[in-house]
A and B are shown apart, each in its own frame.
Chain A
Amino acid sequence: MASDSDGEEQAGRRGAGRGLPEEDIAREDSEDMPTRRLIRQQYRELISTVQQNHELMLSTNNDKLTEALEDANNLFKGVSCAREAALDAQFLVLASNLGKEKANRLHSDMIVFDPSAFAEDLLSLMGLNRLERQESDSEEEQAASGFLPNNAWHKLGEEAKTYFRRAPVFHFMLGTFTPDPPAERPRIERQRKKNTSDGNRVMPAQLEKMEGSHQEATEKEVERILGFLNAYYMEDPDTPISFLEFVTDPNSFARTVENMFHVSFLIRDGLARIKLDHNKLPVIEPLNSRGGENDEDTQAQKQAVISMSYQEWQNIVKTFEISQHMIPPAPQPLT
């Protein structure tokens, strides 16, 4: 391309200077004939070389045409007469024609990149089914028409890969392994921290409540049992109440033990007392009205442990033929 424009430029310049030697036409008869002959010979040689190497001159890979023009320019320095100048003009015509031809050939060589043609060729490579495409061709150029096989992009990818020096991806033989767990780790830690702090805040409140309610429940239960004891005593103050019959619930060993536990508070607080009757069996009676302070002293001096196993409870139920509890179960279970 560059050589072309050079050539044209040179041609223009030389064209402008062509008139010069014709002005000195009068000096033709001088003694520099050998020089002029040499110049003419050189011109003829140059012209024939250029004509013979027609293809070489046209090639876009070299600057032969420019070089030839430069040679002619050098020769022209020695030109003083019309005959040589005519040869120069002859060469100039030749060079111009070559230049024009070269320019034309360049254009015919050069393809402007056409994305749509490229796309068509890509689709062919990808295995587009043209027949199906033609069917829907009626709705102008619908890009989504035609049938591309499922592996179309895979196919193109295979081809594409050979143009990349892409490092193969590292694979684990024993299955996949996501290389970035750190994203999740901090989240888990934060959650854990929250949990523990929440627990600390809530736990004391809950515990207090539970203890409080438990204590209250025990007190209530103790009072309730004292109520029953007093009621039974009032019904028949002369008949002692059997301790075992009083506490035993024939339907529940657990409630029996619970009753014994609650009765022990009554004894400790001096609200009731247990003594043995003539059969050496324990009887219980409330203490609130009579006795008073004296009894507190005596009571403080004595301690006793009563144990009861499941078997003993069964025996008691059988022996005393207890069919009904004297202390009805608390209406609500604890808590």
Chain B
Amino acid sequence: MSHPRHSKGSGSSQAQYMDVDEELTLSQTQTLSQAQRNLEHHSPRQVEQKVNEVVQFLLIKDQKKIPIKRIDIVKNIIKDYKVFPEILKRANQTLQQVFGLELVEIDPKNHTYILISKFPPLEGDTMNDDENTPKMGLLIVILSLIFMKGNQVKESAVWEMLRRLHIDCSGGKHKVFGDVKKLVTEEFVRQKYLEYTRLPHTDPPEFQFKWGPRAFKETSKKQILQFVAKIQNQSPKSWMGQYNEAEAEASAAGKP
């Protein structure tokens, strides 16, 4: 199973390092970019090792679902900014071909990355069943509320929603989630599922929730609308405004 992938991978690395002249004429349609020239200072084996180390680093870092900073990848693994783009590109290739994951930059300004699955989840996938499952339930409720209420909601609306679902957010420990307020305003925020910002000119301060960049990457307005429609046993078109918005987002993203 891994054999064809392997030969493919090594083929491309050979193309760039081992027989540069010959392979260039044969298969390399792209020009020798600056990044590739930088890579020539390293042996193919070194490069491959770095790529593998980056892959491992990303997989382990992803366990906590906190976006991975470029500086951490450089500091811990690559140690050389010049080769970073090329190594990361290859690590992404490996992640896609071997693990079915995709590395996405969610913050182009601060250069942070997350991993998302390339494939939709399988029905009844019990392998993937862990202590995070209930959290995803909580998360989708909040994301639904935010989207259905016009892409931003006051904090109080979220707590009210959770109260209806038998979750007390006034400091008590929930038997599944523990400190729910902390989970929602800290963990989900750090993982970039949610954005939690203070409304300007509010005294006492009021906060609102929005979708975070990870939410946009891992799911979509269309998906969330489908979830709401399924739960409420309605057609997604029942909510015209949200439906049009979701469709617009989907066509803008280029996925049907």
CA A291 to CA B123, docked complex, whole Å: 113
Contact-residue size bin, chain B (C-beta under 8 Å from the other chain): 35 or more
B232 x A143 contact (CB < 8 A): no
B140 x A163 contact (CB < 8 A): yes
**How does the 8 Å CB contact mask read for A186-217 relative to B, with 1 for contact and 0 for none?**
00000000000000000000000000000000
A157 x B135 contact (CB < 8 A): yes
Of A1, A119, A164, which one neighbours B136 at CB under 8 angstroms? A164
CA A57 to CA B59, docked complex, whole Å: 55
B62 x A167 contact (CB < 8 A): yes
B60 x A166 contact (CB < 8 A): no
CA A287 to CA B60, docked complex, whole Å: 86
A34 proximal to B (CB < 8 A)? no
Given contacts A117-B232, A166-B117, contact A157 B136 (CB under 8 A): yes
A327 proximal to B (CB < 8 A)? no
B74 proximal to A (CB < 8 A)? no
**Complex contacts, B117 vs chain A, CB 8 Å:** 165-168
B88 proximal to A (CB < 8 A)? no
A165 x B166 contact (CB < 8 A): no
B121 x A165 contact (CB < 8 A): yes
Give B218 Cβ to nearest chain A Cβ, in Å: 5
**Complex contacts, B15 vs chain A, CB 8 Å:** none
CA A120 to CA B231, docked complex, whole Å: 10
**How does the 8 Å CB contact mask read for B140-163 relative to A, with 1 for contact and 0 for none?**
110011001100000001001101
A175 proximal to B (CB < 8 A)? no
**Beta-carbon nearest neighbor of A178 in chain B:** B63
| Count of chain A residues near B, Cβ 8 A | 42
A154 proximal to B (CB < 8 A)? yes
A160 x B63 contact (CB < 8 A): no
Of A106, A117, A121, A163, which one neighbours B226 at CB under 8 angstroms? A163
**Complex contacts, B134 vs chain A, CB 8 Å:** 153-154, 156-157
Given contacts A157-B134, A164-B136, contact A143 B239 (CB under 8 A): no
A109 x B140 contact (CB < 8 A): no
CA A120 to CA B164, docked complex, whole Å: 8
**How does the 8 Å CB contact mask read for A60-78 relative to B, with 1 for contact and 0 for none?**
1000000000000000000
**Beta-carbon nearest neighbor of A124 in chain B:** B231
B1 proximal to A (CB < 8 A)? no
**Complex contacts, B130 vs chain A, CB 8 Å:** 169
CA A150 to CA B134, docked complex, whole Å: 11
A153 x B238 contact (CB < 8 A): no
A164 x B133 contact (CB < 8 A): no
A334 proximal to B (CB < 8 A)? no
**How does the 8 Å CB contact mask read for A135-174 relative to B, with 1 for contact and 0 for none?**
0000000011010101001111111111111111110000
CA A324 to CA B127, docked complex, whole Å: 86
A160 x B140 contact (CB < 8 A): yes
A241-258 residues with Cβ-Cβ distance < 8 A to B are none
**How does the 8 Å CB contact mask read for A1-38 relative to B, with 1 for contact and 0 for none?**
10000000000000000000000000000000000000
**How does the 8 Å CB contact mask read for A70-93 relative to B, with 1 for contact and 0 for none?**
000000000000000000000000
B253 proximal to A (CB < 8 A)? no
Q: List 5 A-B contacts (CB under 8 A).
A: A118-B144, A122-B141, A143-B164, A157-B138, A167-B117
The interface of chain B, by Cβ under 8 A from chain A, is 59-65, 101, 114-121, 123, 125, 127-130, 132-141, 144-145, 148-149, 157, 160-161, 163-166, 168, 175-177, 217-219, 223-224, 226-228, 231-234, 237-242
Which 4 residue pairs are nearest across A and B when measured between Cβ atoms? A156-B137, A157-B133, A153-B134, A157-B137
